[in-house]
Structure 1
Amino acid sequence: MDVSPALHTVDVAVVGAGQGGLSAAFFLDRAGLDPGRGYVVLDGDDEPGGAWRHRWPGLVMARVNGVHDLPGFPLGAVDPQAPAREVVPAYFAEYELRLGMPVRRPVVVHDVRPAGARLLVTSSAGTFAARAVVNATGTWTRPFWPSYPGRGSFRGRQLHTADYAGPQEFTGQHVVVVGGGISAVQHLEDLAAHGVGTTWVTRHEPVFREDFDVEARRAAVEVVAQRVAAGEPPGSVVSATGLLLTPEVAALRDRGVLKRHPAFSRITPDGVEWADGSRQGADAILWATGFRPALDHLRSLHLREPGGGILVDGTRVVREPRLHLVGYGPSASTVGASRAARQAVHEVLAGR
């Protein structure tokens, strides 16, 4: 582990410079904390943009599941056909520049542990002794790969949404897409548009909704909040809302691209097999099976409840009140992360 011996004392350390981390930095700055001394932002990526830098090229702004304005500087009008992986990182970069954000990168945070009245944040840029830590590391670096019998025997390619770079590499092939969320639908659309054969597999029957009104969104967030309050892993807000039936999605369903198959029982060397013995050959399996919170650097704090989740009160972790989670559970969306960042900073300042 490459860790510098340098020790830096700060009031607040923000880990992550995506939507939640930059929003937290904005509210800390507005509260009068000095950049660099009062607070610092540590980001593991080489450049601004968070997870948006790593999205697949075919994901254009018209197809993203919402990008909420960062506080104090709106995104403004954008070309709906421009790649999200270009538009959003450019927006984040300009935001950091305009507001003079003290973002240090690339800085990998290895560990956070208590040390008297402070938390020690050990990283590739040294150790930061902070009165409070706002963690906004998101999920992109922790793709979830389900376990299936025979997965190791598959002779084709297996990849996750985090690895997907577009349909061109699958020309003339057949791809099994696994997952019931927005990413799976977008992959199916992307592949079908380039003539790639697909089979869609989900554990549960997909639920299509014609709109997500305020009540539906609130109910979905409440489902996740209840899981977190029970000390269970949060799941995702998107999984609780169903799939939005846009005209584009309806057209895909009418064309048979979104013909859903139940979960297979095992993976064979040449494809997948269901419990009734039926098989589907495949050149690749694309796992659009979501992500888990990227919290391995917090393991020394022993935050997990018996149910496997982390109990939070607002954004404050119950087992370690000096730690605040932004983008965890109910706040795992762009608008939710910004709101949670405001709340986290309020709680941090109240605890002075």
Structure 2
Amino acid sequence: MKLYDTLIIGGGQAGLSVAYFFRRHNIDYLILDANEKPGGSWLHTWDSLKLFSPTTYSSLSGWQMPQSEKDYPTKDEFISYLEQYETRYDFPVQRNTNVISVSKEHDVFKLTTNQGEFYSKTLVSATGTAQQPYIPKYPNQHLFKGLQLHSLNYQNANAIVGKRVLIIGGGNSGAQILAEVSKVAHTQWVTLEPPNFLPDDIDGRYLFNEATQTYLGKPQETSSGIKASLSNIVMVESVKEARARAVLHAKRPFTAFYEQGVLWNDNTKEPFDAVIWCTGFKANLKHLEPLNLIENNRIETQHTRAVKEPKLWLVGYGSWTGFASATIYGVGKTARQTVKEIIETL
């Protein structure tokens, strides 16, 4: 039985960030990644996805992403960057390895995978949220006969050309997918609240700076006097183009589904051929269920360290595992602290 000092579950931006800080220490670790190639969850996003920050703010620790041809990097450019990053630092990664469950035996973690069993003294879970899509429940949802898919499963609009499409969700994914689909289909956008669009000159740089100041207890307004949030919609090129076509108009949620479509608040019916849910994700923690640490789809942590299992760290799941840890720009800060704690523990 080979016993690693640390195993990292997940080879996306969070897992690679932790591995980067391990480089400074002589420990035996391995990244277990379920994908067949580098890229993490970005491999499963839609084809035309654009990041909403320039390359300077879309880079991991140690090496800046090469300059993009456009203002905002594409999905493929970022995946290429992750591949180069992994190669540059020669991280030990085992591909096509899906961690099914994690248990503890004699103070050692036992990971059961589709490639056999792995053992380690400490453990980092960095599986993120992309494989756990969240879809809200509506009355009679099961009766709808049209296509329903989450943004996780949306690749492009080829299959819905000329269709009537309902797009649900008011974040950047909803706006970008609406912008694309509305070019080839009849669309209606649904959001809980009126969409919050940022001014054209404000992007992820300002969002991250503002979020940092808020974290430090010094909230600031942007140069336009607008309080920015990471949930606001950034006006990337495709969204600006959609605005010019006057398609960025959203209705408040409907009350129920029926066989051919949805029922609005005024009891009118509207038929749709497809629904695309751009409603976010939940933390992917299923593999950790045997440890009996999960409550309300979270594990209690102090920074990234599990309170009830101090040899387990969770990186990249959102603010509950460290400030801005689910972002490209923010994950390095939490990864650095995680590695410091692991080295002290070892």
What TM-score do you get using the length of structure 2 for normalisation? 0.86
Q: Distance in 1 between matches of 2:21 and 2:130?
A: 24
Q: Tell me if structure 2 keeps the 8 A contact 1:66–1:334.
A: no
Matched, 1:217 2:211: yes
Q: Distance in 2 between matches of 1:322 and 1:141?
A: 24
Moved more, 58-67 or 136-145: 58-67
Matched, 1:8 2:14: no
For residues 247-326 of structure 1, the aligned pairs below 5 Å read 249=239, 252-253=242-243, 255-305=245-295, 308-326=297-315
Q: Per the alignment, do residues 179 and 47 of structure 1 end up closer, same or farther by CA in structure 2, a change over 3 Å counting?
A: same
Partner in structure 1 of residue 224 of structure 2: none
Partner in structure 2 of residue 228 of structure 1: none
What TM-score do you get using the length of structure 1 for normalisation? 0.84
RMSD between superposed Cα atoms in Å:
2.7
Q: CA deviation at 1:240?
A: 5.7
Q: Tell me if structure 2 keeps the 8 A contact 1:61–1:81.
A: no
Q: Per the alignment, do residues 244 and 219 of structure 1 end up closer, same or farther by CA in structure 2, a change over 3 Å counting?
A: farther
Which residue type is aligned with residue 82 of structure 2? F
Q: CA deviation at 1:64?
A: 8.7
Q: Distance in 1 between matches of 2:238 and 2:39?
A: 27
Q: Distance in 1 between matches of 2:84 and 2:268?
A: 53
Q: Per the alignment, do residues 221 and 204 of structure 1 end up closer, same or farther by CA in structure 2, a change over 3 Å counting?
A: farther
Q: Per the alignment, do residues 64 and 110 of structure 1 end up closer, same or farther by CA in structure 2, a change over 3 Å counting?
A: farther
Q: Distance in 1 between matches of 2:186 and 2:53?
A: 22
Partner in structure 2 of residue 227 of structure 1: none
Q: Distance in 2 between matches of 1:95 and 1:256?
A: 40
Q: Distance in 1 between matches of 2:55 and 2:68?
A: 15
For residues 236-251 of structure 1, the aligned pairs below 5 Å read 241-245=231-235, 249=239
Q: Distance in 2 between matches of 1:157 and 1:130?
A: 43
For residues 165-244 of structure 1, the aligned pairs below 5 Å read 165-192=155-182, 194-210=183-199, 211=202, 212-213=206-207, 216-218=210-212, 241-244=231-234
Q: Deviations over 1:268-300 (max 9, x none)?
A: 111111132022211100011111111100011
Q: Distance in 1 between matches of 2:342 and 2:161?
A: 52
Give the % identical residues: 33
Moved more, 7-16 or 123-132: 123-132
Partner in structure 1 of residue 223 of structure 2: none
Partner in structure 2 of residue 40 of structure 1: 30
Query: How many equivalent residue pairs?
Result: 326
Q: Tell me if structure 2 keeps the 8 A contact 1:61–1:80.
A: no
Q: Per the alignment, do residues 241 and 143 of structure 1 end up closer, same or farther by CA in structure 2, a change over 3 Å counting?
A: closer
Higher helix share: 1
Q: Tell me if structure 2 keeps the 8 A contact 1:55–1:84.
A: no
Give structure 2 stretches of 5+ with no counterpart. Answer: 218-227, 320-324
Give structure 1 stretches of 5+ with no counterpart. Answer: 1-6, 224-237
Matched, 1:337 2:331: yes
